Amino acid sequence: MDIVKIGGSLLTDKTAYRKFFQKKASTIIQNLIHLEDFILVHGGGSFGHYISERYGLPGEISDERIRAASIVKYDMTDLNQKIVKMLNTRNRPSIGISPFFLHSHEDFNYDIVRKTIKNRIIPVLYGDVYFRDGFLDILSGDSIMVSLARIFKPRRTIFMSDVDGVYDRDPKKYRDATLMNTYSSESVSFGTISNDVTGGMELKFKSMIQCRDMGIKTYLINGNYPERIDTIGTKEFMGTEFV
- Total binding residues toward ligand IPE, as defined by CB under 6 A: 20
**Residue 162 contacts ligand ATP per CB under 6 A:** yes
Q: CB neighbours of 222 closer than 8 A, spacing ≥ 6? A: 160, 161, 162, 163, 164, 165, 228, 238, 239
Report in angstroms how near the CB of residue 143 gets to ligand IPE at its nearest. Answer: 8
**Residue 172 contacts ligand ATP per CB under 6 A:** yes
**Which CB sits closer to ligand IPE, 198 or 218?**
198
**Residue 82 contacts ligand IPE per CB under 6 A:** no
> Would you give the binding string for ligand ATP spanning residues 32-71, x where CB under 6 A is met?
-----------x----------------------------
Query: Which one of ligand IPE, ligand ATP, none interacts with residue 166, CB within 5 to 8 A by kind?
Result: ligand ATP
**Residue 148 contacts ligand ATP per CB under 6 A:** no
- Out of 27, 121, 171, 217, name the contact with ligand ATP by CB under 6 A: 171
Site for ligand IPE in 165-194 (CB under 6 A): none
Distance, CA of 68 to CA of 2 (rounded, Å): 34
Which of these segments, 21-29, 115-123, 147-155, 166-174, binds ligand ATP (CB under 6 A)? 166-174
Report in angstroms how near the CB of residue 112 gets to ligand IPE at its nearest. Answer: 19
Report in angstroms how near the CB of residue 27 gets to ligand IPE at its nearest. Answer: 18
Report in angstroms how near the CB of residue 142 gets to ligand IPE at its nearest. Answer: 6
**127 backbone φψ class: left, alpha, beta (φ>0; ψ -120 to 50):** beta
**Residue 65 contacts ligand IPE per CB under 6 A:** no
List of residues contacting ligand ATP (CB under 6 A): 7-10, 43, 141-142, 161-163, 166-167, 169-172, 188, 190-191, 196, 200-201, 203-204
